[in-house]
Amino acid sequence: MFNLTGKLAVVTGSGSGIGQAIAAVFGRQGAHVVALDVDKAAADRTVEAIRAAGGKADGIACDVADAAQVRARFAEIDRAWHRLDILVNNAGIAHVGNIEQTSEEDFDRLYRVNVKGVFLCSQAALPVMLRDKGGVILNLASIVALVGVADRFAYSMSKGAVHTMTKSIAVDYVKRNIRCNCICPARVHTSFVDQFVARHYAGREKEVLQELSEYQPMGRMGTAEEVAHLALYLCSEEAAFVTGQAYPIDGGVLNQ
């Protein structure tokens, strides 16, 4: 079960965090992983880890918000491997603040990466998938696409758009053997979270991390690997009857 042997999987933002975990799990399950990240060195570290574990992977530098770059990189992928079975749109950035605390620059920055990046990569991947009669697109949304969370105005805007783009792609291509779903995590403990807390809450790190953990009724944050295992299911043949869905992985948040 959950065998991805023979599949080519492109994972954006795979240099760290959830993207890195998804790339590692996909590589372990037999996929040839193409790790895309704006930071080529980070992508290469992910590739090295996958290869060290016996998997196949290559790294490519790509700013998902740059249309010309995205078109060029996906054309390179098609020339090199002549296929694209799975696209995971994971690359994203965060912002903390309500509408009054969100500048136009903040708003545009979140839109550019989190929304436009999903649009551009999906648009570049779809012609290859259609040519080859099928494929899977998986988007990383967030619990904020489903419920209100304080002080996440711009981030909620962007992930709500990811949710609705997911449904739109699923409806438009369901008859052409392309599935599209999204994952909606609650808080996930990654190095990004640790760095963010250290930068903005110096001296209160332990207290703030505890608050972030207690937001989930289970009393902890999720792990990147837990999200990666859900991603594996949704991109595998075992999920062949699933499309247009938003899957919460939230430690019980929606039950509150």
Reported as a single tens digit per residue, the pLDDT across 78-99 is 999 999 999 999 999 999 999 9
Q: Where are the domains of the chain?
A: 8-186+223-248, 189-220
The C-alpha atoms of residue 90 and residue 100 are separated, in whole angstroms, by: 28
The C-alpha atoms of residue 45 and residue 23 are separated, in whole angstroms, by: 11
Find out whether 101 and 155 touch, Cβ atoms under 8 Å: no
| Predicted pLDDT at 200 | 81
Closest by Cα among 68, 71, 107, 88 to 17: 88
Find out whether 21 and 46 touch, Cβ atoms under 8 Å: no
Contacts of 228 (CB under 8 A, 6+ apart): 18, 21, 22, 24, 25, 26
| Predicted pLDDT at 3 | 97
Find where tokens 């783009």 sit.
165
CATH T-level topology, domain 8-186+223-248: Rossmann fold (3.40.50)
| Predicted pLDDT at 256 | 83
pLDDT beneath 70: ranges in the chain: none
Burial 237-249 (b: 16+ CB within 10 A, else e): eebeeebebbbbb
| Predicted pLDDT at 167 | 98
Structure tokens at 85: 């079975």
Mind telling me the catalytic residues? 155
